Amino acid sequence: MNETKKIFACMMVTITLASCGPKWTETETNGIRIVKNEGGQTLGYAAASGVTVLTVDQWGFKDLNKNGQLDQYEDWRLSADERAADLASKMSIEQIAGLMLYSRHQSIPGASRGFMASTYNKKPFDESGADASSLSDQQKKFLTDDNLRHVLITAVQSPEVAAQWNNNMQALVEGLGLGIPANTSTDPRHGTIADAEYNAGSGGKISMWPGSLGLAATFSPELVEEFGSIAAMEYRALGIATALSPQVDIATDPRWYRTSGTFGEDPFLSADMGRAYSDGFQTSTGAQEIVDGWGYHSVNAMVKHWPGGGSGEAGRDAHYGVGKYAVYPGNNFESHLIPFTEGAFKLKGKTKMASAIMPYYTISLGQDSKNGENVGNSYNQYIIQDLLRDKYQYDGVVCTDWLITGDETAIDVFITGKPWGVEGLTIAQRHYKILMAGVDQFGGNNDKAPVIEAYAIGVKEHGEAFMRKRFEQSAVRLLKNIFRTGLFENPYLDPEESKRVVGNPDYMKAGYDAQLKSVVMLKNKDKTLPLTKGKKVFVPKKFTPAGRNYLGMETPEKFEYPVNIDIVKKYFEVTENPDDADYALVFVDSPNSGIGYSSEDAKKGGNGYVPISLQYGEYIAKDARDPSLAGGDPLEKFTNRTYKGKKNNAINITDLAMITDTYKKMKGKPVIVSVNMNTPMIFSEFEKDTNAILAHFGVQNQVLLDILTGVTEPSALLPLQMPANMQTVEQQFEDVPHDLECYVDDSGNRYDFAFGLNWKGVIQDERTEKYRQPGLK
């Protein structure tokens, strides 16, 4: 053969190999192999997991169950529905039981002591020598022995540590059984560090945004969708594919301590905000989209809490036995569904519907029109199956709130089981009742045993075929959310890329700008604001008495500046002598009077119930309801939970003295008050002692100073009514929005829903036109 023929023959061989060989290439970095399919999905797997790559039709596919053939669930060309159905059919009952679990809270690394403590090789983290990204003993157990695949994380040391921990976890579960990846979730984690300084062009640990009430105060669904899109990209860079949010309960009782996590009291504003939030989180675009808006930037939105938890009697919350009952004296149950039915279930984006729902702990008193049951929402077949699933055609995941299957140990403790209405059932029977109500998943349960016991109960009642079908139904729902976010293809992260994405300067700026748009100016008498920079200011220090936090852990007494005084000094000259000051800046929190229960009252022979007050000073509940609408608990021997005639005052009553004492010390010079507002409050106690008032919902100190000095004009509106007094609070209906007598200040302004000031006066714009007339849409 001459040289020309040889060259031609070689060319023919090369062409043949190129056209008939695989369309994928593979690289490996730090034990993670990345497979790039030409014109297809990119895969990632751990070299040590035992997974191999199959070549089918020239493309690469992960052989997750290691059987040497391509199963439907391994075929990324098929729909999530097809893949989920195939995988569910292959899973054992033990594997499905594990899939139904949602872990208790996990920090990375785990705490060495106290609540949520973890061990590493049987030692506390600080004595173990383990890397921060190592899996704890407890995590290895529930992932391996209990087949758990849904993990809730809390604090993380850094984005890089979170990314490496994610890789370690995914490598472990990839090598087990059918190779199902873990779906990691979080509660909202984009809140602010109040004393952190913002510097343009600088990054941070994660972008900081206003809380949910602050987002609502912007009255801008567009801004909320932007937040969702940015937060989703940061979540995915941390390995998080499910957000336990948004919280769209309408805060119809102003005393509810979870008001701060809502979008306020208006069902239509909440629907618009919840829709935008879910669209932002769930939607992937461009190269990151797999299909139908889902993809590698998508985060499942678990919307909570069905059917609304904002109407607890007297404002008490259902994390505690004292607040287990939601009541409806205004017959307004349907309004609480609007943020779901008109918001979360009707997304504008391609994903169409929020992928998961969490019911609240509450017993929705008197709302089960089918069976007449008064049990916690996740136990109630009418609330879940008949209403959510059948009437509103919701076929996504339904996950219980945390710890509802555990036993109640105390009526006024946060960390206890919350089996409201089914206290007499065994733990296994509770799991079974939840499954039969139409729920798919158990929040805060790391143990598969009671789920398997529930299966056995169902087999006895309905037969094996029925229960197998019921388990597969939930498995399909749960698996779809893992398939649609691309975790079966590549659950691994590049820690350096995570470091670059999370808290990058552009995201930090977007969050800071949103904070500026979330602050409400309530009062500006004689145009006190904006203030002149460089003037002398007096900032009173704040006294915080010793106490306990919501976990029951002791907190120390403090007397300190309530703001980062170094940041204040960049705007003003700070003096400790009010006589020398041009202005006084007073920073306080809204009144906090506790959970509506006093163990001291109970010890003295009372029923334990006391009023939740929205004022700082002493309040005597002369107008309280008697008898209560609801009551009854195995730990109580009575059902009347009235607190009529009892008194209470705010734990932070000294905040009021900060204002009134400063007013006296300033001798007529301007006093400007900034309130960090977690619930509505009674302004009549101090408003006349102020010249200007800002209300915010969790922002950086610097944001307030930018508004006080006119760097930015205030533009936000109240997402809640401010009551004139506690009498109107007692007389309003827990389930009805916009039914308070609102406070009117000494400038004649009514602190009503959608009220706010800018430099010119009362804001009147397209937002107020749309939302200020509740119910008129």
Instruction: Using a pLDDT cut of 70, give the percent of the chain over it.
Output: 96
- List pLDDT tens digits, range 533-580: 999 999 999 988 887 766 667 788 889 999 999 999 999 999 999 999
User: What pLDDT is stored for residue 3 in this prediction?
Assistant: 43
Q: Write the CB contacts of 336 (distance below 8 Å, at least 6 apart in sequence).
A: 249, 250, 252, 267, 307, 308, 310, 311, 735
Tell me the backbone φ, ψ of residue 762, rounded to 5 degrees: -65, 130
Q: How far apart are CA 141 and CA 138, in angstroms?
A: 5
Tell me which residue of 290, 163, 295 sits closest to 239, measured CA to CA: 163
Task: Read off φ and ψ for residue 412, nearest 5 degrees.
Answer: -125, 25
Using one digit for the tens of pLDDT, what is the confidence trace for 430-478?
999 999 999 999 999 999 999 999 999 999 999 999 999 999 999 999 9
Nearest by Cα to 182 from 133, 226, 139, 237: 139
Does residue 14 register a pLDDT over 90?
Answer: no
Is residue 671's pLDDT more than 60?
yes
Q: Interior CA angle at 332 toward 330 and 334, to 5°?
A: 170
What pLDDT was estimated at residue 544?
A: 85
What is the DSSP-derived secondary structure letter of residue 261? G
> What pLDDT score was predicted for residue 777?
33
What secondary structure letter does DSSP report for 388?
I
Question: How many residues belong to the chain?
Answer: 777
The answer to whether 503 and 205 have CB atoms below 8 angstroms apart is yes
What does the pLDDT average to over 514-527? 98
Q: What are the beta bridge partners of residue 761?
A: 758
374 vs 85: CA distance, rounded Å? 35
Which helix or strand (DSSP H or E) is residue 258 part of? none
Q: Pick the residue with more confidence: 314 or 197?
A: 314
Pairwise CA distance, residues 553 & 460, whole Å: 44
Q: Confidence band (pLDDT; 50, 70, 90) for 1?
A: very low
Q: How far apart are CA 431 and CA 405, in angstroms?
A: 7
Token output for 731: 């007389």
The dihedral sign for the CA sequence 623, 626, 628, 632? positive
Instruction: With cut-offs at 50, 70 and 90, classify the pLDDT of residue 194.
Output: confident
Task: Please state, as a whole number, how many other Cβ atoms lie within 10 Å of the Cβ of residue 434.
Answer: 28
Q: What pLDDT digit, counting tens, does each position of 158-174 carry?
A: 999 999 999 999 999 99
* Percentage, residues of the chain above pLDDT 90: 91
Q: Structure tokens of 715?
A: 């533009």
- The yes-or-no verdict on residue 200 having pLDDT over 90 is no
What is the model's pLDDT at position 776? 36
Contact assessment for residue 360 and residue 311, using Cβ atoms and an 8 Å cutoff: no
